[in-house]
Chain A
């Protein structure tokens, strides 16, 4: 059994990485066409578009959580800053209608600034303390948007966000948003992948592995952490801006703590510190619940007769959000038990295809939850 699994893994391991990248890109480009050709319900395209927003968030958070090893639980705050900047600067709310490019830059830079401001007092903290404080900052941010009625219209939210106009191309269909997001993902992933293969990326990893040793190797912890936090905040801001344009309406309930948790789960599921892992984690976690819902409310009843598990059907139809969380929880628990290093861990992805035996990867499991450093730090 394990032998078969290894042989299969071996075969997939021999396929060069660029094949996977090209295949994923082709799939992504073809995906909206299926809807336009009438081969797929719009529902799936909408899901795909939302998934791409999560992909952006997951690769962004991966920078902080996976590469640098900081448990940041307020990530959604930066997403909110990007979304609200866009909603305020491009809607009838205050009668402002700025250009798309200007807004994208403002949303990204504001989120980065916000990341810097929050990072200043918090980055000296470690592990659990950092997690709690960032969580609190995330909630404070949401409550601020919730209560700042004069600008954000409070819980009522901001409706009627104008669609973006990119040099005359008005983006207002799901397929168009899908491509806009896809382009953003490609750009962001390319930049992040370059960073990863540079002194900056190595400094992040070194910090995650051993802060004291990295400091004694010339890495300045606070500076390097701040860089990770600021860049990842910018990515969340960008994602928030496009999200606001796509939804045309936002209110504070889009930015609940739960969203931060979901993105953390995506990074952990994919494999901490792995960019392709974060992408896979986002796709799997965002798509799985929807597929399960469709399976039980559509496909299975269609195939087996409409009286197939009627209780489950109604439950999934009326209370889906709750069951979505249940499915998330289940996926994460299973993963932590059976594959703690994540679906596509970094070492597996970065393996040199020919000069290494995939079996050597066995002992390279990352210590996923090794945020605890206190004890070890005393012994030098």
Chain B
């Protein structure tokens, strides 16, 4: 079996009296797409925030390739290989499309202030490499970011392209694990389908992906494995079809009575 990339070990996070994430454990293996599903407020985004260091778990541990990352700052976790996108888009709106991706390389580039002030040959070389790589990443979305648009501000993009740009920025970190928080939220069916294919392409290129999704077509079409959450707890895990038909999952989504009528 493929190597475990992410190992989440019974993490818990409480806000006031609310257990947003409760004793949650799961693993993500290299080269797979795992979907995290669950009704609104079930703790999916909070799980992402715990993995990426925005919050520190009250208890439990998160391991990236056997190394504990719980308690590290977001920047450090990013440098160790976890990139993410946000449910509410968070682009650098007034910066150019290319610069958005280049910011994603900040942690891996080494030019210091003096280099940058003087544009030393070392800095220029690194910069040229970064720009080339950034263009390569933007090229993963064919036709969406033509070179003529690279210098335009991110906010000039359409909504769907902004979501794509956020993925591109996350890829700039050369992540061992890519977290996507509702990547097709707000897209029409055709756009969702295209993004779903792109996510599969990324997996085929070797990326490991954990995504939160509500869109059933995308979940069924893209995921290798699905984890369902409710009230901060894991209620089911397995192949997409299995989880979708799991009584506990149906109940979480439709309520007890809904589940009875459905069966």
Contact = CB atoms under 8 A, between A and B. Distances in A.
Contact of B102 (A199, A346, A350, A380): A199
Contacts of B106: 199, 202-203, 206, 217-219
Given A199-B111, A380-B87, A217 B156 contact: no
B113 A200 contact: yes
Given A212-B90, A347-B94, A379-B88, A199 B75 contact: no
Interface of B: 45, 48-49, 52, 54, 73-75, 78-79, 83-84, 86-88, 90-95, 99, 102-109, 111, 113, 115-119, 123, 127, 130, 148, 151-153, 155-156, 169, 172-173
Nearest to A376: B88
Contacts of B75: 215-216, 218-220
A352 interface: yes
Contacts of B88: 376, 379-380
A9 B263 CA distance: 67
B92 A213 contact: yes
A195 B78 contact: no
A212 B84 CA distance: 12
28 contacts: A198-B127, A199-B105, A199-B109, A200-B113, A200-B116, A202-B99, A202-B102, A205-B92, A209-B94, A210-B90, A212-B74, A213-B92, A214-B103, A215-B73, A215-B74, A217-B78, A218-B79, A218-B104, A218-B105, A218-B107, A218-B173, A273-B94, A350-B151, A360-B152, A363-B155, A364-B94, A380-B45, A380-B54
Given A200-B116, A202-B102, A218 B91 contact: no
Contacts of A350: 151
Given A216-B74, A218-B78, A363-B156, A205 B99 contact: yes
Nearest to A220: B75
A346 B108 CA distance: 27
Nearest to A191: B117
Contacts of A214: 92, 103
Nearest to A198: B116
Q: Which of A191, A214, A217, A346 has the most CB of B within 10 A?
A: A217
Contacts of B172: 217
A209 B94 CA distance: 7
B92 A206 contact: yes
B73 A364 contact: no
B73 A220 contact: yes
A201 interface: yes
Given A215-B73, A216-B74, A356-B151, A202 B103 contact: yes
Nearest to A223: B75
Contacts of A220: 73, 75
A194 B118 contact: yes
B99 A380 contact: no
Contacts of A355: 148, 151
**Interface size class, chain A:** 35 or more
Contacts of A195: 113, 116-117
A355 B150 CA distance: 11
A203 B25 CA distance: 35
A55 interface: no
Contact of B95 (A200, A202, A212, A219): A202
Given A198-B111, A216-B74, A347 B103 contact: no
A166 to B, nearest CB: 23
B156 to A, nearest CB: 6
A171 B130 CA distance: 45
A198 B123 contact: yes
Nearest to A215: B74
Contacts of B102: 199, 202
A364 B95 CA distance: 10
Contact of A212 (B54, B79, B93, B94): B54
Contacts of A191: 117-118
A5 to B, nearest CB: 21
Contacts of B49: 380
Contacts of A89: none
A375 to B, nearest CB: 11
A300 B228 CA distance: 79
Nearest to B118: A194
Contacts of B153: 347, 364
Contacts of B156: 360, 363-364
Interface in A105-138: none
Interface in A298-333: none
A190 to B, nearest CB: 9
Q: Which of B86, B92, B93, B127 has the most CB of A within 10 A?
A: B92
Contacts of A88: none
A227 interface: yes
B95 A209 contact: yes
